[in-house]
Amino acid sequence: MPLRGIIREQSEIREGSGNTSRKSREGVQMRHLGKSHIVPEQPSSSFPVPFEQSRWANLPPELLLDIIQRVEARETSWPSRRDVVACASVCRSWRMVTKEVVRTPEQCGWITFPISLKQPGPRDTPIQCFIKRERATSTFRLYLGLSPALSGNLSKLLLTARRIRRAINTQFIVSLVPDDFSRASNNYIGKLRSNFLGTKFSIYDSQPPHDQKLRTGRTSRLKRRIHLKQVCPSKTATNYKVAAVAFELNILRTRGPRRMRCTMDSIPVAAVEEGGTAPTPTEFKDGMNEHHSSTSVCKGKKPITESPEPQEPIAPLVLKNKSPRWHEQLQCWCLNFKGRVTVASVKNFQLVAAAETNQNVSAAEQEKVILQFGKIGKDIFTMDYRYPLSAFQAFAICLSSFDTKPACE
């Protein structure tokens, strides 16, 4: 039986708790096989018991592994890669095998599951994306693909951000879907917050750092709590500061591009050293439960947080924008974007690693462009990122360029 038939039959078993006919269920299932967004993973306990007792859940492990490996090797791009996601939704046993077979973006260069957006990109070739800005709704959407003209309707929506202007700062709320920006939702990924002048930004992740040393070190002191209801402490979400972006002030109003510096608190500088690795989460964790496991909350009193044990500080990775060169004939500052940027803009930038002399980072590694961002049309921008940044971190850094910065230009 073809793979689609297997998936269709499993969906019918899952939905067949009433007297609904099989034909009507097939119509519902086919309508959901079109273009889809990346959605957050649901706990395995949410599957009904009859769903796990189907005949496809009892396939021999060797046969099941061979099926998943064939599908994963064949579908290497979206939208066809949704078949890999469909395999993970058949049942619990299929899901476990699929998660073991599917590799991280660093290893294969593909984005498959929602957790892939929090994992580092490939080391050799960058993952190419583009951002569409909607001025009317102050919304920014990140798509997987070269450009809207080349990808068209086949572009995969990865992340969406909405800008919220306030009297003292500006915030960008990042979500997995384009119509849900509630920080109490499972679709909430993180946020970007600016200072009053728009020269400094803080990137907050909804998930704690994957590395235990980073979690109990600097980032644990920068943890922020979001009170959804002051009278309901059980619904308290937690944000973890993972990076900071700073733009250099241009007090003399001299001509030239913006100068920016990014401090990645959740990525050690050892990640770009020879033989180094970057933190790679494998699943989403419940930040609310983790927060309350180490916090005593009483109604009408401030929470008491356990202070972490002192550990040796870990040097974070620092990124700086690559210095452009002045083109005499064009009378402008230029960078080699390798054809990915076609419109001159003050927002265009390339980020490289800024290493100290005592750090074991080679000169070749310091010349590699980790993140580049630039304009290709009206409200259309390209974003290419690679190891050790994740899609979420790269998207948040690029969002900082969309905020107004009169003191930096």
> Predicted confidence band at 211 (pLDDT cuts at 50, 70, 90)?
low
Fold topology of 104-209+237-273+314-408: Tubby Protein; Chain A (3.20.90)
Query: Which tens digit of pLDDT belongs to each residue from 140-183?
Result: 999 998 888 777 667 899 999 999 999 899 999 999 999 999 98
Q: What is the largest CA-CA distance in the chain?
A: 76
Domain locations along the chain: 56-102, 104-209+237-273+314-408
Please give the average per-residue pLDDT across 75-96, as a whole number.
90
* pLDDT for 287 beyond 80: no
Per-chain mean pLDDT for the chain: 79
> Predicted confidence band at 360 (pLDDT cuts at 50, 70, 90)?
confident
* pLDDT for 246 beyond 90: yes
pTM of the model: 0.79
Q: How far apart are CA 56 and CA 90, in angstroms?
A: 8
H helices of 32-167, in order, are 49-52, 61-74, 82-88, 92-101, 105-108, 148-151
Tokens of 242: 């993972």
Query: Which tens digit of pLDDT belongs to each residue from 325-355?
Result: 888 887 787 888 999 999 988 889 999 999 8
* Residue 17 CB partners (closer than 8 Å, separation 6+): 48, 50
